[in-house]
Structure 1
Amino acid sequence: MVLRVGVVGGGQLARMMIAPAVELGIELRVLAEEPGMSASLAATAVGDYHHADVVLAFAREVDVITFDHEHVPQDVLAALVEAGVAVHPGPHALRFAQDKLEMRARLAELGMPQPDWAAVSDAGELDDFLAAHGGRGIVKTPRGGYDGKGVRVVNSGVEADDWFAALAEDARGGSLLAEELVEFSRELAQQVARRPSGQTRAYPLVETVQRGGVCAEVLAPAPHATDRLVEVAAELGIAIANGLDVVGMLAVELFQTIDDRILVNELAMRPHNSGHWTQDGATTSQFEQHLRAVLDLPLGDTAPTQPWSVMVNILGGPAEGALEERFAPAMVDQPSAKIHTYGKAPRPGRKVGHVTVAGHDLDDVAYRARAAAAFFTD
């Protein structure tokens, strides 16, 4: 009997589930937001995921529903569950990836290390928080932010007046999230896979390099990570996955502070940019693992296949011409590089693909990955 997985969202994460689905004999179906999206090779429906009737009709043709992103509204998710649809991760878990204030509160209940934070409903409350944290801090919109969007470094409450005004006009109301400005030495990410039966597997801890709030590179495993740091990060990721009842892939974005603590920054309950290296550098890619997990199949080995892997995002793409025109020269120059593109038109700042190189020498691997990626931008 063929297993059928439905993915809500037609972006690159759904696209990269196609190959492992084919290899495992899984029928992958995608509900894309519009024609011609990244996952159009597997798209079997086009519709608005904000409407329960659209998603319910799509769900009738599959065994389990999962996601390319976390933005499906809770009322739509509730309708799926009420109709008896298997939804992984479930709405009770996804709420903590959808709302950063709920995430912070739940992580505090679980005793997880995180920055000092507060819910602030006006500029005065934000000023009070800033005054208690050295006069400078981070303010975030609780919902909808990604890749640096919905995040600001502020010195005064008035710098978030437009966001407070938007909240006042929103029927849901609510508050903004204020966080201390963490002094960190680097950013890390811990990925964990979990299936409904409770089996978990942790991937190697990785270092992520951000530029302009967007992930630019991932080094796997994280260089110079002590055995204790690796152990603590894996334990933390598994504890969060269990505590939130996540099913599928979970990415825990972390700060390593200048005094060598780790603090939870954000969560993603799906395959994640920090795990793209696994396509070419791990025994089981995060995309295959996610499919295994949501179908409650035994999880695969997460061990690296090479000592080092470096993933470099292709951001923006060429100013003129198509990405495909750059393949041949990149392949000639860097034959060890694995090139992945997303079927997206070039646009400044947009993630249009990534390059991964795996090998035995970190400096050499990083050089080759960066050199290959450079062919795709001007």
Structure 2
Amino acid sequence: MTYRIGVIGGGQLARMMVPPAVHLGIEISVLAEAEGSSARLAATQVGDYHDAETVLRFAKDVHAVTFDHEHVPQDVLRALVDAGVEVHPSPEALFVAQDKIVMRERLTALGLPVPAWATVRGRDDLAAFLAEHGGRAVVKTPRGGYDGKGVRVVRSADGADDWFAALGAAGASDALLVEELVEFRRELAQLVARRPSGEIAAWPLVETVQRDGVCAEVTAPAPDADDALSDEARRIATVVAEQVGVTGVLAVELFETTDGRLLVNELAMRPHNTGHWSIDGAVTSQFEQHLRAVLDLPLGDTSPHRAWSVMVNVLGGPAQGTMADRLPALMADQPGAKVHDYGKDPRPGRKVGHVTTTGPDLEDARGRARAAVRFFED
């Protein structure tokens, strides 16, 4: 039997599913948004994922459909299910990741720890929340935000006037999400994978560093994470996976607060930037595991190869030329660094690749990863 899987979205996540698919003998097809996408080697079709007929044509010969992102509309997802296509994660699960207000409602109902939050529809609502939370808050658009977009720190009731003005326009939500501005000592992420028959596997808890709202660096495992912290992070992710019905990889982004709390910040129901270290640092990468999970195959071992793995994103890329132009010098200087080029044009702040190093000493691995990434900076 040959398994066939379809991936909607042609970004770097789809691109990184290709090697494990090849190794496992899985046929993989990608519905890309445009020609020249990051996943162009597997892009068998270019089309609009908002159009149900386009997506149905793409999915007609695959065993399962999965995603490079969470932006496929619910009506398109429902059309796939109605046509008998296996969709992982399901429309019901993806809806929790697609709308931040729905996410907060569901997590709260499950009794999971989240920042204090509310829905707001205008200045008066926002002013009331600010008054209760020290005059500072984080406002988020419920849909469409990623990598720091759609997220804003406000200190006055007029701080989101432009977003309030857009409420309800062109099918947009009729409320914004506001949350307490959490005082945290660091950000963490817990990744798990779940297959439809219920098996769950978890990778070690990792520490993440953000730069301008974009993930810049990941350390696996999270330094100084005791058993209690790691167990709680795994418990939270397991509850979400099981109770929401997530299939495939689930990333739970967390705040470790200065007052000792562990709070859920965001969810992603797909391979995630905070799990890229696993390609070179774990027995089973998040991308192989995702393919296994959505096809309901037994999950792989998530153990790390080495004591430490450090992943550093290439943000922006070279001002002149390409990443490939810089590879010879990097390889000569850092022969142990694993470079992943996403095949994307350089642009300020854009994720165009990443570098991973592993080893027995954290500071050595971190130093080598940072040194390698500097070859792509100007």
TM-score by length of 2: 0.99
User: How many Å separate the matches in 2 of 1:159 and 1:20?
Assistant: 46
Stretch deviating more after TM superposition (164-173 or 134-143): 164-173
Counterpart position of 1:29: 29
Counterpart position of 2:268: 268
- Which string of whole-angstrom CA distances, capped at 9 and with x for unpartnered residues, describes residues 29-77 of structure 1? 0000011100000010000000000000000021100000000000000
User: How many Å separate the matches in 2 of 1:67 and 1:372?
Assistant: 30
User: How many Å separate the matches in 1 of 2:131 and 2:105?
Assistant: 22
Counterpart position of 1:151: 151
Counterpart position of 1:340: 340
Aligned-residue identity in percent: 67
Counterpart position of 1:54: 54
User: How many Å separate the matches in 2 of 1:268 and 1:102?
Assistant: 14
Quick one: which amino acid aligns to residue 262 of structure 2? I
Q: Post-superposition shift, 1:169?
A: 2.4
Counterpart position of 1:103: 103
User: How many Å separate the matches in 1 of 2:101 and 2:265?
Assistant: 12
SS in 1 for 2:167: helix
Q: Post-superposition shift, 1:172?
A: 4.4
- The answer for unaligned runs of 5 or more in structure 1 is none
Is the 2:207–2:223 contact (alpha carbons within 8 Å) kept by the matching residues of 1?
yes
Q: Post-superposition shift, 1:365?
A: 0.1
Counterpart position of 1:330: 330
The answer on 1:366 being equivalent to 2:358 is no
Counterpart position of 1:375: 375
Counterpart position of 2:171: 171
Matches within 5 A, 1:126-275: 126-275=126-275
Q: Post-superposition shift, 1:173?
A: 4.0
Counterpart position of 2:72: 72
Counterpart position of 2:123: 123
Quick one: which amino acid aligns to residue 274 of structure 1? T
Quick one: which amino acid aligns to residue 158 of structure 1? D
Is the 2:5–2:63 contact (alpha carbons within 8 Å) kept by the matching residues of 1?
yes
SS in 2 for 1:216: strand
Matches within 5 A, 1:283-362: 283-362=283-362
Counterpart position of 1:12: 12
Q: Post-superposition shift, 1:168?
A: 3.7
SS in 2 for 1:219: strand
Q: Output the aligned Cα RMSD.
A: 0.7
Structure 1 residues 103, 355: closer, same or farther in 2, change over 3 A?
same
User: How many Å separate the matches in 2 of 1:197 and 1:25?
Assistant: 22
Q: Post-superposition shift, 1:170?
A: 3.3
User: How many Å separate the matches in 2 of 1:194 and 1:169?
Assistant: 37
Q: Post-superposition shift, 1:242?
A: 0.4
User: How many Å separate the matches in 1 of 2:291 and 2:121?
Assistant: 40
Stretch deviating more after TM superposition (168-177 or 102-111): 168-177
- Which string of whole-angstrom CA distances, capped at 9 and with x for unpartnered residues, describes residues 337-376 of structure 1? 0000100000000000000000000000000000001101
Q: Post-superposition shift, 1:171?
A: 3.4
Stretch deviating more after TM superposition (163-172 or 90-99): 163-172
Q: Post-superposition shift, 1:157?
A: 2.0
- The answer for unaligned runs of 5 or more in structure 2 is none
Is the 2:246–2:269 contact (alpha carbons within 8 Å) kept by the matching residues of 1?
yes
SS in 2 for 1:16: helix
Is the 2:119–2:175 contact (alpha carbons within 8 Å) kept by the matching residues of 1?
yes
Q: Post-superposition shift, 1:377?
A: 1.2
Runs of 4+ residues deviating >3 angstroms: 170-173
User: How many Å separate the matches in 1 of 2:302 and 2:212?
Assistant: 30
Quick one: which amino acid aligns to residue 190 of structure 1? Q
SS in 2 for 1:368: helix
Quick one: which amino acid aligns to residue 37 of structure 1? S
Is the 2:142–2:173 contact (alpha carbons within 8 Å) kept by the matching residues of 1?
no
User: How many Å separate the matches in 1 of 2:348 and 2:69?
Assistant: 21
Structure 1 residues 323, 172: closer, same or farther in 2, change over 3 A?
closer
Stretch deviating more after TM superposition (5-14 or 229-238): 229-238
User: How many Å separate the matches in 2 of 1:254 and 1:138?
Assistant: 15
Stretch deviating more after TM superposition (210-219 or 165-174): 165-174
Structure 1 residues 154, 49: closer, same or farther in 2, change over 3 A?
same
Q: Post-superposition shift, 1:153?
A: 0.3
User: How many Å separate the matches in 2 of 1:170 and 1:14?
Assistant: 29
